[in-house]
């Protein structure tokens, strides 16, 4: 596909890397000539320097006849206007980064319709939702949702004394009397899509899927189900913090936000009644202690500095805070922090990239019978978990799974049928109307039929 990305900051650069890796014809558009030069040297892309709302610049970038125009600059208004112009000049589809809380609900629907924006994306709200989902679970695990939250997939690093270790996977369901599936294991630098005779070791990072009730049962059996986080301290008064605090307040949680910018604190105090807003530098440990860090159930580091988020998260963990989450955008820092024991790390860049890559694949398969509904990257991006909606034209329906010639390193991990979640076995079949969750290592799936050899 021919894709133009304007706004080549942190999110735009991550998106460029993902789209070129997917094999698309990509053009970067930004008004920073030095940045464009760096990007064209780093990636197999075209680069245009100029204003994204200048028609001549858009024409130079090849907007006429392009399949997709993506605007992810730091300005919502610039993103919306450039998408409007791109569509009028011939782009088939447009995606705009829109993150201001004022642009939501009816206002967003109206602007989307009038400006002909195909897909609005709010990175901060996406991040807040992921953080909220994770905070609902009391153990240190990362949680992804599928099939309207009827299926959950968690990533969890096993301790040496984990009750999951040393037992063949085929025996685990009977031991814990819960219906779940361990669908991927990262051991060192090696990724495994395990079979029934596989045994887990301490230090393994696993991906596990189940419906919420069965996952609750498993965690309780493992002794990991402690009280849900109710008192949460958030460091950094970002838009993500605003959205997350809104969600937490709706469930009766107690929220404290700390930020060193007085104007931001004043705004949050006005827009979030019920939240304790503290003006101060969270890098000072005494401030955190004085504001009740040691009595908190969770600590969420959302400053704009990756290093500060990592260091203060380790400090919170050292003060026995049960659940610690950190925003870390730089991949190399996230990897180091995770190896040192910081398990709940998330990246706005990667979330937006996942959403847009999913959308691009859906566009490529727009005439197909199995549309991508959800896409997540797991295990440091080395595995993809995808959800497909199946219709009557699919080639994989009404055939027992054990008879399907499924490619190596692909696993069907869940089926949602009439709101009933199913952990499939070889005798199960996919039928039209199902939502199917697939895990793939080393494969780029656009359609459910791509799982077949």
Regarding whether 319 and 239 lie in a shared domain, the answer is yes
Q: Between 239-250 and 262-271, two packed helices, what is the crossing angle to 10 degrees? A: 30
- Tell whether 366 is covered by a domain: yes
Regarding whether 178 and 141 lie in a shared domain, the answer is yes
CATH number of the domain bearing residue 210: 3.30.70.1450
The full length of the chain comes to 453
- Tell whether 328 is covered by a domain: yes
- Tell whether 28 is covered by a domain: yes
Q: What is the pLDDT of residue 96?
A: 95
- Tell whether 413 is covered by a domain: yes
How many angstroms separate the CA atoms of 411 and 124, rounded? 31
Q: For the full predicted model, state whether its pTM sits above 0.85.
A: no
Regarding whether 172 and 214 lie in a shared domain, the answer is yes
Regarding whether 403 and 321 lie in a shared domain, the answer is no
Regarding whether 436 and 334 lie in a shared domain, the answer is no
Regarding whether 18 and 101 lie in a shared domain, the answer is yes
- Tell whether 126 is covered by a domain: no
Regarding whether 178 and 278 lie in a shared domain, the answer is no
- Tell whether 44 is covered by a domain: yes
How many angstroms separate the CA atoms of 381 and 384, rounded? 7
Quote the domain boundaries for residue 436: 352-451
Cβ atoms of 358 and 372 within 8 Å: the answer is yes
Please count the other Cβ atoms lying within 10 Å of the Cβ belonging to residue 214.
21
Q: Identify the domain boundary among 289, 313, 346.
A: 346
Q: What is the pLDDT of residue 347?
A: 87
Regarding whether 342 and 238 lie in a shared domain, the answer is yes
301 phi and psi angles, rounded to 5 deg: -95, 115
Which tokens sit at 186? 């990262």
CATH number of the domain bearing residue 57: 3.40.50.720
- Tell whether 371 is covered by a domain: yes
Regarding whether 266 and 216 lie in a shared domain, the answer is no
Residue-by-residue DSSP string for 330-374: -HHHHHHHHHTT--EEE-HHHHHHHHHHHHHHHHHTTTSSEEEEE
Residues of the chain with pLDDT under 70: 138-140, 226-227, 365-370
Q: Identify the domain boundary among 313, 328, 346.
A: 346
Q: What is the pLDDT of residue 355?
A: 87
* Residue tagged 């596989």 (tokens): 198
> Count of domains in the chain?
4
Q: Identify the domain boundary among 196, 221, 246.
A: 221
Regarding whether 361 and 337 lie in a shared domain, the answer is no
How many angstroms separate the CA atoms of 430 and 416, rounded? 10
Per-residue pLDDT tens over the stretch 62-97 = 999 899 999 999 999 999 999 999 999 999 999 999
Regarding whether 377 and 329 lie in a shared domain, the answer is no
- Tell whether 6 is covered by a domain: yes
Residue 131 CB burial class (10 angstroms; 0-12, 13-18, ≥19): buried
3-state SS, residue 236 = coil
Give Cβ neighbours of residue 421 (< 8 Å, ≥ 6 apart): 147, 150, 151, 211, 414, 415
Shortest CA distance to 358 belongs to which of 345, 371, 346? 371
Q: What is the pLDDT of residue 140?
A: 67
Regarding whether 331 and 266 lie in a shared domain, the answer is yes
3-state SS, residue 135 = helix
- The pairing of strands 190-192 and 344-346 is unpaired
b or e along 251-286 (b: 16 or more beta carbons within 10 Å of the residue's beta carbon)?
Answer: eebbbbbbbbeeebbeebeeebeebebbbbebeeee
């Amino acid at each position: 596909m021919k894709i133009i990305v304007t706004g080549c900051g942190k999110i735009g650069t991550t998106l460029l890397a993902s789209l070129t890796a997917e094999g698309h014809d990509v053009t970067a558009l930004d008004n920073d000539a030095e940045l464009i030069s760096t990007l064209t040297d780093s990636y197999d892309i075209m680069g245009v320097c100029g204003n994204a709302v200048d028609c001549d610049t858009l024409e130079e970038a090849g907007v006429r006849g392009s399949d997709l125009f993506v605007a992810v600059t730091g300005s919502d208004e610039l993103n919306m206007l450039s998408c409007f112009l791109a569509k009028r000049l011939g782009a088939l589809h447009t995606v705009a980064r829109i993150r201001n809380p004022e642009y939501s609900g009816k206002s967003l629907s109206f602007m989307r319709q009038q400006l002909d924006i195909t897909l609005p994306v709010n990175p901060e709200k996406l991040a807040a939702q992921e953080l909220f989902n994770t905070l609902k679970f009391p153990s240190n695990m990362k949680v992804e949702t599928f099939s309207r939250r009827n299926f959950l997939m968690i990533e969890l690093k096993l301790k040496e004394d984990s009750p999951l270790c040393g037992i063949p996977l085929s025996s685990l369901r009977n031991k814990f009397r819960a219906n779940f599936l361990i669908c991927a294991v990262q051991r060192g630098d090696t990724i495994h899509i395990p079979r029934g005779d596989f045994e887990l070791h301490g230090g393994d990072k696993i991906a596990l899927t189940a419906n919420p009730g069965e996952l609750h049962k498993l965690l309780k059996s493992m002794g990991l189900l402690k009280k849900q986080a109710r008192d949460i301290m958030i460091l950094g008064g970002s838009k993500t913090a605003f959205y997350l605090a809104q969600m937490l307040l709706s469930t009766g949680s107690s929220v404290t936000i700390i930020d060193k910018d007085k104007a931001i604190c004043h705004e949050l105090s006005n827009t979030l009644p019920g939240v304790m807003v503290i003006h101060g530098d969270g890098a000072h440990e005494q401030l955190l202690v004085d504001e009740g860090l040691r009595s908190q159930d969770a600590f969420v580091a959302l400053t704009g500095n990756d290093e500060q988020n990592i260091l203060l998260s380790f400090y919170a963990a050292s003060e026995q805070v049960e659940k610690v989450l950190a925003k870390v955008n730089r991949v190399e820092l996230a990897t180091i922090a995770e190896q040192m024991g910081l398990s709940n790390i998330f990246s706005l860049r990667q979330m937006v990239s996942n959403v847009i890559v999913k959308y691009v694949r859906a566009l490529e398969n727009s005439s197909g019978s199995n549309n991508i509904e959800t896409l997540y990257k797991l295990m440091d991006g080395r595995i993809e978990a995808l959800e497909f909606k199946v219709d009557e034209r699919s080639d994989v329906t009404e055939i027992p799974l054990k008879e399907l010639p499924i490619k190596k390193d692909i696993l069907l991990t869940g089926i949602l049928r009439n709101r009933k979640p199913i952990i499939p076995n070889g005798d199960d079949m996919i039928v039209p109307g199902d939502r199917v969750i697939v895990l793939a290592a080393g494969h780029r799936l656009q359609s459910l039929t791509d799982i077949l050899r």
